[in-house]
Amino acid sequence: MVWLPLQGPFIWLLAAAAEKALPLVERPPILAALTTRGNSIQLYSHLTGAAQPLTKLDCTNLHLSVVASLALALSVAAKRWSARARVCGLALLLVFFVMLAVCIVQLQWAAESHASARLGITLYTTREKEFLDWAIRKSSFAMVYLAPALLFLASYLSVWSAAEPAEAGRSGKHGARKPGSMSPSGTRWRNVFVALAGCAGAGLLLLATRAEADGSAYVEGLKKVVTLNPASPRAHYRLALDLEKEGRLDEALDSYRTTLRLKPDFVEARFGEGNIHFSKGDYAQAARCYGEVLERQPGNAEARFNLGATFLNRGDFELAARAYETVLRADPDHASAHEGLGEALLRLNRRCEALPHLVRSTELDQRLAMDTTLRANISILRTHCGRRE
C-alpha cells in the first residue's frame, strides 16, 4: 500500500537513469529517448522518427520485486528505527541499480523484438542478441530472486551476529547494547559502505550525463542498423533522414538512392531525394523528384508546395503560381503557400493580386508576421494598390 503512490515516481526515475545510462551501454546508440506513462516506459528511436515511439515496456513486474525486496529486508527484527531506515535506504539503493540493469536490457530487447516483428529489421548483431538474451535471464533472476534474498540474508545475519556481542557486552565493562546496534567501529564501516555506495551511484549518473549521445552518434547507430539490414529500404531511408538532418547531404542522397533502388515506389524516399536536390540548388532534379511523387500521390500537398518552391527558385513563376494555387485549393489556410503564391505573383508583376495572399500569410503564421521584409513589401503594395492603412 505504501509503495502504490511511489510507483509512478520510481518508474520515472528509472527511465531517467536508463536514458542516461543507455549511451554507455549502446555504442553506437539506437534508442534515443525514453518517456514514462504510468507503469510503462515508451522508447523512442530514430528508426521511427522523433515524435513516434518505437514501442513501450510494461514495468508492472518491477514493483512486486521492489515490494518483495523491501518486505524481506524489513522483516528482520531490527529494534532501532535508525537501523530500519538504514536497511530500507540500502535496500532501495541496491534494488534501484538491479532494476536499472533489468530495465536497460529489457528496453533493448523490446526494441529488438518490435523492430524485427513490425519493421522487419534487426537492431543488434547475433552476438549482441545472444548477450541480451543471457543478460535478460540473469538480470531477471537477480531482480526476482537474488536481490530480495541477499537483502533478507544480510539483514538477518546482521542481527544474528550483532546479538552475540551485545549479550557479551552486558556482562562486560562496556555495558549492554541493543540487538541490531553496532559499536563505533562497526558504525564507521557501515557509514563508509553507505557513502561508497552513494558515491558510486552519483558517479554513474554523472558519467552517464557526460556520455549523452549527440546527433552524429545516432547516425552511427543507424549506419550499424543498415549494415545489419543491407536489404531493408526502411533502414536506408531512416539513415538518409538523419544524415539530411545532420547536413551530410551527399551521404543522405546516396542513402535515398539506395532506398529507391531497393524499393522504387518508396514515395517518401523520392520526396527526400527531391529535398536534397533542392538544398543543393539542383532545381531540375528536385522538380523531377517532386513530379514523380505527385504522379503516385497527386494529393500530396507537401510535394506540390515544394514543387512550387522549386519553380519559384528556378524562375518559372507561372508554374510556381499554379502549384501554389493547387495547394491552396486543398488547404486554404496554408500560410507558406499564400506567401509563395504572393511572391510568384509579384515576380509576374501581378502586384495587387499578390497583396491579399501576402497579407493572409502574415495572418496565418506569426513567424511570417514578424518578417520585416514581408511587412515592408505589404506596406509598399498597399500604397501601390491604393489601400492605405
Q: Does 189 bind other proteins (CB under 8 A)?
A: yes
In 299-328, which positions are buried (b, 16+ CB within 10 angstroms) versus exposed (e)?
Answer: ebeebbbbbbbbbbeeebbebbbbbbbbbb
The minimum distance between CB 175 and other proteins, in angstroms, equals 10
Q: Does 160 bind other proteins (CB under 8 A)?
A: yes
Distant-in-sequence contacts of 212-220, Cβ < 8 A, 24+ apart: 212/20, 212/23, 213/23, 213/28, 213/29, 213/32, 215/242, 215/245, 215/246, 216/246, 217/23, 217/28, 217/29, 218/28, 218/29, 218/30, 218/32, 218/46, 218/242, 219/243, 219/246, 219/248, 220/28, 220/29
Sole binder of other proteins in the list 74, 144, 217, 385 (CB under 8 A): 144
Q: Does 7 bind other proteins (CB under 8 A)?
A: no
Q: Which is nearer to other proteins, 173 or 388 (CB)?
A: 173
Q: Does 152 bind other proteins (CB under 8 A)?
A: yes
Q: Does 145 bind other proteins (CB under 8 A)?
A: yes
Q: Does 86 bind other proteins (CB under 8 A)?
A: no
Distant-in-sequence contacts of 382-388, Cβ < 8 A, 24+ apart: 382/355, 384/351, 384/352, 385/351, 385/352, 385/355, 387/355
The minimum distance between CB 13 and other proteins, in angstroms, equals 21
Q: Which stretch binds other proteins (CB under 8 A): 90-98, 184-192, 205-213, 252-260?
A: 184-192
Sole binder of other proteins in the list 83, 162, 241, 269 (CB under 8 A): 162
Q: Which stretch binds other proteins (CB under 8 A): 110-118, 136-144, 290-298, 309-317?
A: 136-144
Q: Write down the residue that cell numbers 511511489 correspond to.
A: 6
The minimum distance between CB 166 and other proteins, in angstroms, equals 9
Question: Using CA atoms, how far apart are residues 31 and 43, in angstroms rounded to an integer?
Answer: 7
Amino acid 131 reads F
Binding marks (x or -) toward other proteins, 41..80, rule CB under 8 A? -------------------xx--xx-xx--xx--------
Q: Write down the residue that cell numbers 533542392 correspond to.
A: 278
Cell of 149: 534474498
The minimum distance between CB 183 and other proteins, in angstroms, equals 4
Q: Does 136 bind other proteins (CB under 8 A)?
A: no
Q: Does 201 bind other proteins (CB under 8 A)?
A: no
The minimum distance between CB 39 and other proteins, in angstroms, equals 12
* Closest-CA residue to 18 (of 32, 4, 8, 2): 32
Pairing of strands 53-58, 31-37: unpaired
Sole binder of other proteins in the list 27, 84, 129, 138 (CB under 8 A): 138
CA 337-342-345 angle, to 5 degrees, is: 125
Q: Which stretch binds other proteins (CB under 8 A): 117-125, 133-141, 228-236, 261-269?
A: 133-141
Q: Does 157 bind other proteins (CB under 8 A)?
A: yes
Question: Using CA atoms, how far apart are residues 47 and 214, in angstroms rounded to an integer?
Answer: 16
CA 156-136-198 angle, to 5 degrees, is: 50
Q: Which is nearer to other proteins, 84 or 382 (CB)?
A: 84
The minimum distance between CB 273 and other proteins, in angstroms, equals 47
Question: Using CA atoms, how far apart are residues 81 and 87, in angstroms rounded to an integer?
Answer: 10
Sole binder of other proteins in the list 81, 173, 373, 386 (CB under 8 A): 173
Q: Does 4 bind other proteins (CB under 8 A)?
A: no
Task: Summarize as ranges the residues that interact with other proteins (CB under 8 A).
Answer: 60-61, 64-65, 67-68, 71-72, 137-138, 141, 144-146, 148-150, 152-154, 156-158, 160-165, 168-169, 172-174, 177, 182-186, 189-190
